[in-house]
């Protein structure tokens, strides 16, 4: 496998990479957690979109919305996702169901099937950056007899492949970051998105909770989306 030691994956959130020594080290597993409507999917897809504009290949697995719906949503944020089809592979639930049926698999084996799909793209297409939206949906679709053990093996397989993985985790409380409470310990990094209501206005914030091998700020920064670009407010 190609040695990518020292490479950084930029978030392309203006101002945020500077708060974490330039970006995320290649090959890390990063949780992107936050409430519904917190721009988790938008952030992860944007990171994959920008990082595959060069020589990288990526795969984004969406289990919560169709490919068409995702593209429509991203266009509203100023990102033309379809132009990147050859570099950024988008797999939705409909496509994956057909692949699973063709392979003769059962629906309760979704976690194992997703492992095979990702491994295939890494080995055959040279994919080096992955997004999974979301862990919550994947768990709901899977029959996990021993969740903590199976999640551990899932994360370790992703880590062994050497790709950078972004796993979206929807939360329902301020102290909540993961579904089973083990993912935050197994991951190399956590990017947390939060929302705060003031009157009729909603403000969004972003925070790097942890990122191994990186000195980073743990502050909450207001995050703004303008004309397809995300940036933080630092003062």
Q: What is the CATH number of the domain that holds 136?
A: 3.40.50.300
* Any domain includes 41: yes
User: Stretch 97-121: mean pLDDT, rounded?
Assistant: 86
pTM of the model: 0.94
* Any domain includes 181: yes
Give the phi and the psi of residue 23 in degrees, each rounded to 5: 150, -165
Question: How many separate domains does the chain show?
Answer: 1
Instruction: Judge if the upstream peptide bond of residue 134 is cis by omega within 30 degrees of 0.
Output: yes
Task: With beta carbons less than 8 A apart as the criterion, state whether 160 and 128 touch.
Answer: no
| pLDDT (tens digit per residue) in 5-63 | 479 999 999 999 999 999 999 999 999 999 999 999 999 999 999 999 988 999 999 99
* Any domain includes 95: yes
Q: Say what the pLDDT of residue 2 is.
A: 45
* Any domain includes 2: no
Expressed as residue numbers, the domain containing 34 is 8-232
* Any domain includes 161: yes
Distance CA 77, CA 97 (A): 28
* Any domain includes 201: yes
Give the phi and the psi of residue 38 in degrees, each rounded to 5: -85, 5
| pLDDT (tens digit per residue) in 156-176 | 999 999 999 999 999 876 667
CA distances from 160 to 10, 130, 155, 202 (A): 21, 14, 9, 40
* Any domain includes 194: yes
State yes or no: pLDDT of 86 exceeds 70: yes
The residues near 174 (Cβ < 8 Å, ≥ 6 apart) are 194
Distance CA 140, CA 122 (A): 25
Task: With beta carbons less than 8 A apart as the criterion, state whether 176 and 39 touch.
Answer: no
* Any domain includes 1: no
């Amino acid at each position: 496998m190609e040695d990518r030691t020292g490479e950084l994956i930029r978030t392309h959130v203006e101002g945020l990479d500077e708060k974490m020594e330039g970006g995320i080290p290649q090959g890390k597993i990063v949780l992107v957690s936050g409430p519904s409507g917190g721009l988790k999917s938008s952030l992860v897809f944007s990171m994959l979109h920008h990082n595959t504009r060069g020589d990288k290949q990526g795969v984004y697995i969406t289990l919560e919305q169709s490919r068409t719906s995702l593209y429509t949503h991203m266009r509203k944020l100023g990102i033309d996702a379809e132009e990147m089809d050859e570099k950024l592979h988008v797999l939705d639930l409909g496509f994956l169901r057909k692949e699973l049926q063709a392979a003769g698999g059962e629906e309760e084996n979704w976690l194992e099937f997703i492992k095979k799909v990702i491994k295939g793209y890494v080995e055959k297409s040279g994919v080096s950056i992955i997004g999974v939206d979301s862990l919550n949906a994947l768990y709901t679709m899977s029959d996990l007899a021993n969740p903590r053990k199976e999640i551990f093996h899932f994360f370790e397989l992703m880590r062994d492949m050497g790709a950078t993985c972004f796993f979206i985790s929807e939360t329902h409380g301020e102290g909540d970051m993961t579904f089973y409470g083990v993912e935050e310990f197994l991951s190399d990094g956590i990017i947390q998105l939060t929302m705060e209501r003031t009157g009729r206005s909603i403000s969004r914030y972003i925070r790097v909770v942890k990122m191994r091998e990186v000195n980073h700020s743990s502050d909450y920064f207001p995050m703004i989306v303008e004309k397809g670009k995300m940036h933080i407010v630092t003062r």
